[in-house]
Amino acid sequence: MLKFLGLEAAFSLLSRKLLYLWVRTQVLPQDLTSLKLDPNKPVCYVLQTRQLSNLMVLETETIRTGLPRAMGRFQSLDVREDRSFFFLTRGETPGLRRQNRFAYSPRLKRLVQAVMADPKFDVQLVPVTILWGRQPQKEDSLLKILFTDSWATPSAIKQLFRVLIHGRGTLVRFEEPMSLREVVDEGQNEELTLRKIARILRVHFRRQREMAIGPDLSHRRTQVNALLETDAVQRAIELEAREKNVLPHKLEDTARRYAMEIAADYSYPTVRAYEKFLTWLWTRLYDGVKVYRMNELVDLAAEGPEIIYVPTHRSHIDYLLMSYVIFKQGMMVPHIAAGANLNLPVVGGILRRGGAFFLRRTFKGNHLYAAVFNEYLHMMIQKGYPIEYFIEGGRSRTGRLLSPKGGMLAMTLASFLRDHSRPIVFVPIYFGYEKVMEGGTYVAELSGKPKEKESIWGLIKTIRDIEKVFGEVHVNFGQPIPLADLLDEQHPGWRDEPAIEDTKVPWVSKSVDVLANRIVTQINSAAVVNPINLLAFALLSTPKQVADEDLLVAYLDTLRKMLADAPYSDRIELTALDGRALIEYGMKMKVLERLSHPLGNLIQLEGAQALQMTYFRNNVQHLFTLQGMIACFLTNENALERGRIVELIRNLYPFLQAELFLHWSIEALDEVVNRQIDAMIGSGLLAMRSDQTTIKAPNRNSAEYMQLEILARSVRQAMERYYIAVALLTRQGSGKITAAHLEELCSMFAQRLAILHEHPAPEFFDKGVFRSFIQTLKRIGVLGENEQRQLVFDRQLQASANEAHLVLPHDVRQTVQQLTRLDADEIRKAVVEIAAKSKK
């Protein structure tokens, strides 16, 4: 209709005039005679995708440069075409009736037919590449990076933004013509000729795009297609089709849906956008990001292994921080395993383009989903993509490491056993924060509030916190763990065995457990003692979380000296601030407040921060566990032989080692304990009698004894929880209670104890802590289960309980003993009543 009314030309002219009020182009080659166009043969331009803006640019530039017009009539006596261009592919169209994007252009078909019909007729096909924006690495604007040209076909809205943002930096490249006659003369039929022309043009446009914006890293559809063709997925489809009596092609659609749900859609422009956004975010949020031992990681990556990053999971910031740190070092951003609960509208797509791939919480009962995910993971490992996942299964609400989950490790190990041509190295990573955005949420959840479901609103509420100050962030890389070396330890000769797909094979299952434990142990061995967690450790062990300022300064300096004299590991990083500077830093961070008093200033935790500070204390609790136990023994008994101290710790150590992931072996424990005793003597917290074998506490009226008492308090809560569980077990008897029932009773006992003895931290009676402890006792063989899933144990547990009470004050021990004499129903009723009263 527009053409009939003579309005089409007017519309084109107006569109181009409006477009070029903003658009500025660079045309290549600058000398268009280098194209070597034959003036005696008609020209037809080829654009890659159907976009009006690209067509208007092409039309304008052909007019400006004196080339045959793109929207002009085709210059041939034998063939009449209204226009001198065609699109190689169609754009994406919404709705159910989607067009085939790769269908041949009708104009191309007619031109091929004309060339075939007339041996003297030829057409010059001129590919034209139009790119909106320069290469991503040369951009310095977030919006420019977001809307720069990439491999994905843009929607109309995104193309509009590209024009608006990149219009003044548009690149137009005319390429040397392709002779249609030369292709037709190869003697193939029309269909094969069209197919070859399309293939040649696609390859051409791909190479031009690679040259301008880098390689295509967004292979999601290609990966999905390859994934569905693998033997494992096809076997899973066939098996499920037989079991459910369903046609295989329907299950193929299901498998494709699973694959699209899982697969990342990595986009380099999106990663660049992340970098700009996170640089802005870190500047507003943190005083700096300190990274330790990055050079070791760079050297490792240069050797070419498949790197699996396994950080501790403390905050949603973790995976953003990890990618940022890696990218800033010029290394490939890892593909990150994210829970399906984060695959939210809008947010999920952004995360997916940043390299996230999604997995469900459980694969149980869905063998097809498991097969698709396993194959996807195997494909990424084989292609050499670095991968990142969190083996704790979720964010720690308490600040201490959670018991590792072996699911992703088992799948990684299975992939390696299938094909171990590329070595795999696990890199443990410690994240140390001085504040976390989710701090208030963690406290609420530990106090009994249900876990909030992830949502866009929840994300918005979190983003509001960017106005606050969160101190520094510390990232420390632990000792790398080569997978092949670990398998050599666990099962020599594994290389000579056939590929194993079943990870439940005993030696494979054991290797997964060993690997998981080694990873979390190495994470703890790379802890960073920053000012906040050291202040939290010191003050949370004082009565009412308040201390004389001079005493606190001395105690902080003592803690630093003990860590320096007997370091936990050679990868520990210790703050350089002394006690006085640490307190001033805490005041600056608004976690401490100073109370003026005529007899000397007092320092206490700021009221709103006290509960949250338990989180940061737990980050470094494991570093002081042995010293705390020694302090407990000496404040209760006043004097003990050195050998007796070593014996007591050796008996209790397996439980503490498994719960806190301590790295010392039982064989090395005697030397380690003696070294810690010497460090405490050197710091003035202990003394040695003249017989040189007996260790004693300082005078009870001395400042050193007060420090020793504070240090002892740091481990008592853990020992109280341990004593509660053991006392309940031995009171009920072997084979009389299930793990779930014990967990519930332990939480109730701890809640009552917290009320009676002023334990302010809700984590003290957190069921999750007791659940982890019970699992630990089962893992080290102290507890077992009978056929009724009731817990069974031997006399070793009672013996341990008798020694554990040595670290508890008399009043706490008496309360626990009194409670264990009650009937379970009475316990439950009493605790509920007390809890209800305390809330009022």
Please tell me the distance from the alpha carbon of residue 745 to that of residue 832, in angstroms, as a whole number.
Answer: 12
pLDDT at 696: 93
CA–CA distances in Å: residue 550 to residues 48, 280, 496, 535: 74, 39, 65, 14
Number of alpha carbons in the 13 Å side-chain half-sphere of residue 519: 31
Is the pLDDT reported for residue 329 higher than 80?
A: no
How many angstroms from the chain centroid is the CA of residue 348? Answer: 14
pLDDT band of residue 140 (cuts 50, 70, 90) is very low
The 10s digit of each residue's pLDDT in 453-483 is 554 445 445 555 555 568 899 999 999 999 9
Among 239-248, 372-381, 756-765, the least confident range: 756-765
* pLDDT at residue 686, as a whole number: 94
Q: Give residue 833's pLDDT.
A: 55
pLDDT value, residue 484: 95
* Residue range 356-370: mean pLDDT, rounded: 87
Q: Which of 352-356, 596-600, 784-788, 799-803 has the lowest mean pLDDT?
A: 799-803
| pLDDT (mean) for 441-451 | 58
Q: Please determine, for residue 214, whether its predicted confidence score (pLDDT) is greater than 50.
A: no
Query: Of 510, 526, 542, which marks where a domain is finished?
Result: 526
pLDDT at 217 over 50: no
Last residue of a domain, one of 231, 259, 287: 259
- For residues 160 and 146, give the distance between their C-alpha atoms in angstroms, rounded to a whole number: 13
Q: Which residue has the tokens 């070791």?
A: 296
Same-domain status, 488 and 340 = yes
Query: What is the rounded (10 degree) CA torsion for 683, 684, 685, 687?
Result: 120
Which residue did the predictor score with more confidence, 357 or 722? 357
Asked if the model's pLDDT at residue 96 lies above 70, the reply is no
Residue-level pLDDT at 284: 78
At 758 the pLDDT is 58
Confidence of residue 2 (pLDDT cuts 50, 70, 90): very low
Q: Are 785 and 660 in contact (CB under 8 A)?
A: no
Q: Give me the mean pLDDT over the 280-301 stretch.
A: 84
Please tell me the predicted confidence (pLDDT) of residue 172. 86
Q: What is the CA radius of gyration of the chain?
A: 34
pLDDT at 831: 46
Binning pLDDT at 50, 70 and 90, where does residue 824 land?
low
pLDDT at position 93: 45
Condensed to tens digits (0 to 9), the pLDDT of residues 660-714 reads: 899 999 899 999 999 999 999 999 999 998 888 899 999 999 999 999 999 998 8
**Residue 778 pLDDT exceeds 90:** no
Q: Is the CB of residue 589 less than 8 Å from the CB of residue 433?
A: no
The confidence band for 90, taking pLDDT boundaries of 50, 70 and 90, is low
In this predicted structure, what is the pLDDT of residue 678?
94
Assigned domain for 572 exists: no
Q: What is the mean pLDDT of the chain?
A: 81
What amino acid occupies position 265?
Answer: D
Burial class (CB in 10 A: 0-12, 13-18, 19+), 37: middle
- Please tell me the predicted confidence (pLDDT) of residue 430: 95
Q: Please write the tens of the pLDDT for every residue from 534-559.
A: 999 999 888 888 899 999 999 999 99
pLDDT at 130 over 50: yes
Count other C-beta atoms under 10 Å from residue 247's C-beta.
9
Q: Considering the entire predicted model, what is its pTM? A: 0.70
The reported pLDDT for the residue numbered 804 is 60
Question: Alpha-carbon distance 452 to 395, whole Å?
Answer: 13
Q: Is 686 exposed, middle or buried (0-12, 13-18, 19+ CB in 10 A)?
A: buried
**Backbone angles phi and psi of 594, in degrees to 5:** -100, 130
Residues 278 and 315 in one domain: yes
Domain harbouring 431, CATH code? 3.40.1130
Is residue 429 in a domain?
yes
Residue reference for tokens 């309005």: 7
* Pair (89, 230) in one structural domain: no
808 and 734, same structural domain?
yes
Q: Answer for the pair 782, 797: CB distance below 8 angstroms, yes or no.
A: yes
59-80, pLDDT tens digit by residue?
A: 999 998 889 888 888 767 677 8
- Identify which has the larger pLDDT, 838 or 730: 730
Mean pLDDT of 608-626: 86
pLDDT (0 to 100) of residue 538: 94
**Domain contains 115:** yes
Asked if residue 313 and residue 232 are part of one domain, the reply reads no
Amino acid sitting at position 423: P
* Rounded mean pLDDT, 309-317: 88
- Position 228 pLDDT exceeds 90: no
Percent above pLDDT 90 for the chain: 30
Which stretch, 135-149, 253-267, 526-540, has highest mean pLDDT?
A: 526-540
Is 653 or 568 the better-scoring residue by pLDDT? 568
Sequence-distant (6+) residues with CB within 8 A of 834 are 751, 752, 755
Mean pLDDT confidence for 766-775: 76
Does the pLDDT value for residue 152 go beyond 70? no
Give me 776's structure tokens: 């630990």
- Residue 644 domain-assigned (yes or no): no
Say yes or no: 316 and 464 in one domain. yes
Q: Kindly state whether residue 145 falls inside one of the protein's structural domains.
A: yes
Confidence of residue 4 (pLDDT cuts 50, 70, 90): very low
100/355 Cα distance (integer angstroms): 28
> Are 34 and 148 within one domain?
yes
Confidence of residue 801 (pLDDT cuts 50, 70, 90): low
- Asked if the structure places residue 142 within a domain, the reply is yes
Answer with the residue of higher pLDDT: 773 or 598: 598
In a domain, 502, yes or no: yes
Give me the mean pLDDT over the 182-188 stretch. 88
228 and 316 fall within a common domain: no
* The residue type at 302: A
Domain boundary pick from 199, 230, 259:
259
Domain coverage including residue 437: 265-526
Does residue 499 or residue 757 have the better pLDDT? 499
Q: How confident is the model at residue 203 (pLDDT cuts 50, 70, 90)?
A: confident
Contact 175, 204 (CB under 8 A): yes
- Is 618 within a domain? no
In this predicted structure, what is the pLDDT of residue 135? 40
Mean pLDDT of 399-407: 85
Query: Do 238 and 358 fall within a single domain?
Result: no
Q: Is the pLDDT of residue 786 over 60?
A: yes
- What band does 627 get if pLDDT is binned at 50, 70 and 90? very high
Compute the distance between CA of residue 765 and CA of residue 749 in angstroms, rounded to an integer.
8
The structural domain count of the chain equals: 4
Considering the domain architecture, whether residues 722 and 761 belong to the same structural domain is answered as: yes
Q: What pLDDT score was predicted for residue 482?
A: 97
Does position 783 have pLDDT exceeding 80, yes or no? yes
DSSP per residue, 228-280:
HTSHHHHHHHHHHHHHHT--HHHHHHHHHHHHHHH-----HHHHHHHHHHHHH
Q: Do 280 and 143 lie in a common domain?
A: no
Between 722 and 823, residue with greater pLDDT: 722
Contact between 793 and 715 (Cβ < 8 Å): no
* Highest mean pLDDT out of 18-27, 195-204, 573-582, 744-753: 573-582
Which pLDDT does position 615 carry in this prediction? Answer: 86
Contact yes or no for 549/583 (Cβ under 8 A): yes
Q: Do both 286 and 408 map to the same domain?
A: yes
Which of 227-236, 298-307, 338-347, 756-765 is predicted least confidently? Answer: 756-765
Q: Two tokens at 187?
A: 């003697």
- The answer on pLDDT for 192 being more than 70 is yes
pLDDT-based confidence at 510, cuts 50/70/90? Answer: very high
